[in-house]
A and B are shown apart, each in its own frame.
Chain A
């Protein structure tokens, strides 16, 4: 049974947008619109008139949504709000996952909750993947720097690779610094002296 709930996802990153859309589709919500273009955001939303808007907590365009909720008029009661006021647990989970949601109109909590739970789960997964990716990238960059520092020592002092590494490590321990910081300092200094 398709659910007639109309949902907007505001997300510039196509992969992320697709992830959320797929998760919502799988949950039975067929009417999902992704808005990539942030410049005409308010006009687009006014046209679509969604029941629920999902947006990354870190997206600065959130402030435009605040104004939008006001523009729709308090008299018609389609007040947008930050997740569900009566459900602090859900709000906390959303914040931790990096998601904010605007509920337009007087939709009941029971109808929104499952959508949010699905979205929260997906956002949490994406956040985790992203942080793992960032960590892997950082580790790779650090290894490159350490390799370059080792290379410099091998060249300058005629050390073996093992000796060069031990020298870096000892120097880091003596100075109370991290190995990567010592290696970075050496690489920077050698670039300056070149």
Chain B
């Protein structure tokens, strides 16, 4: 089974499924293919060169809505990872923020946006990896709400640091290890962890074309089981040490292990040669039904896309909800005893602390999922 990935820390569930034999255990012969860009990965999936792929969570929804590239019905079979993004600013911007009295706190979204507003000279140019990405959704939600002028452009993650240095952008939001990489090259400084904007945001999904999903139910189920087991394995901090070394290999990220380790441990360096900062819940692979593709998450993304591109809202929401296949998740993972939530929708942003909820085994505890502004997204009120 040909499966595409982009060299990022959160490709870990696919890499571990392959390397530690979780895929082989399910009878899946997984061939991982590193892709140079999200657009290349998308085209390869649409044209049938890939059966499945790691994707930015808004990508399959955008594709199904016909936004960007070739329109194709693509399913998000499950969520691969939750959170894991960082926001960094150029040295000159950080200097101006400090001059206005800002003090670094990776968890204070409101404080950082206030400081950015004071320090901005004209519109802030923000780099994100792709037009259809959680990075963009987070930045627009966070700064758009404040009415801050922003110009968003797409920059490949490995080039984020360079783009800060050259002045192409003032700040960026990116997945690890590329934020830490920019810090190490002294291109800029981390100013916020993505989870400070939304404490439980679906970051990457496991995606496949709908026609392939429908034609190969057994392979789909086997792949989902393998990836689920890999995610559960990755939840253990001790295992993450091993995973770090595997990810560092040339065929995957091809970077020093210490820069990958920061995301894996949730221990970030905001500045080069600084002491680290612990970020609780920086990156989840399994905890609190992290892999469950909530219809409400899809609706949140679909609503944002519909507003931005002027699409019919109720139709876009309908399509988006259908992309996140909580039905397949229930069928394929319920079978092996995975604890399933009682509903496939939740009020996004309603939990300010871990909360036990109704589930098939009665053991499910959902994690904090607050938005920085305390807003609650209720999927029932369109």
Contact = CB atoms under 8 A, between A and B. Distances in A.
A169 to B, nearest CB: 29
A74 interface: yes
Given A66-B69, A82-B69, A92-B47, A42 B39 contact: no
A40 interface: yes
A60 B70 contact: no
B40 A100 contact: yes
Nearest to A88: B47
Given A67-B131, A74-B309, A85-B70, A61 B47 contact: no
Contacts of A71: 153
Given A39-B162, A58-B36, A58-B40, A63 B156 contact: yes
A69 interface: yes
B221 interface: no
B47 A60 contact: no
Given A60-B37, A63-B129, A91-B47, A70 B68 contact: yes
A59 interface: yes
Contacts of A69: 68
A67 B47 contact: no
A66 B168 contact: no
A58 B152 CA distance: 23
Contact of B153 (A64, A85, A88): A64
A92 B309 CA distance: 29
Interface string B136-174: 000000000000000011111011001100101000000
A57 interface: yes
Contacts of B36: 57-60, 62
A62 B163 contact: no
B49 interface: yes
Interface in A28-59: 38-40, 42, 57-59
A95 interface: yes
**Interface magnitude class on chain B:** 20 to 34
A82 B258 CA distance: 38
Contacts of A81: 69-70
A66 B68 contact: yes
Contact of B131 (A61, A70, A82, A85): A70
Contacts of A38: 159
Contacts of B49: 95
A66 B39 contact: yes
B154 A82 contact: no
A40 B154 contact: no
Contacts of A40: 166, 168
Contact of A61 (B44, B156, B310): B156
A60 B131 contact: no
B38 interface: yes
B40 to A, nearest CB: 6
A67 B153 contact: yes
A82 B44 CA distance: 11
B37 A63 contact: yes
Contact of A59 (B37, B154, B310): B37
B130 interface: yes
Contact of A39 (B43, B154, B163): B163
B152 A67 contact: yes
Interface string B103-145: 0000000000000000000000000011100000000000000
A95 B47 contact: yes
B313 to A, nearest CB: 17
* Residue from the set A81, A82, A100 with the largest chain B CB neighbour count within 10 Å: A82
A67 B162 CA distance: 18
Nearest to A43: B168
B275 to A, nearest CB: 32
Contacts of A57: 36, 40
24 contacts: A40-B166, A42-B153, A57-B40, A58-B36, A60-B36, A60-B37, A61-B159, A63-B130, A63-B154, A63-B155, A64-B155, A64-B156, A66-B39, A66-B131, A67-B130, A70-B68, A81-B69, A82-B39, A82-B43, A82-B69, A82-B70, A95-B43, A95-B44, A100-B39
Closest 9 CB pairs of A and B: A67-B154, A60-B156, A62-B37, A58-B36, A63-B37, A62-B39, A39-B166, A63-B154, A67-B131
Given A60-B159, A61-B159, A66-B131, 13 more contacts: A60-B36, A62-B40, A63-B39, A63-B129, A63-B155, A66-B38, A66-B154, A67-B152, A67-B154, A74-B309, A88-B47, A91-B47, A92-B47
Interface of A: 38-40, 42, 57-67, 69-71, 74, 81-82, 85, 88, 91-92, 95, 100
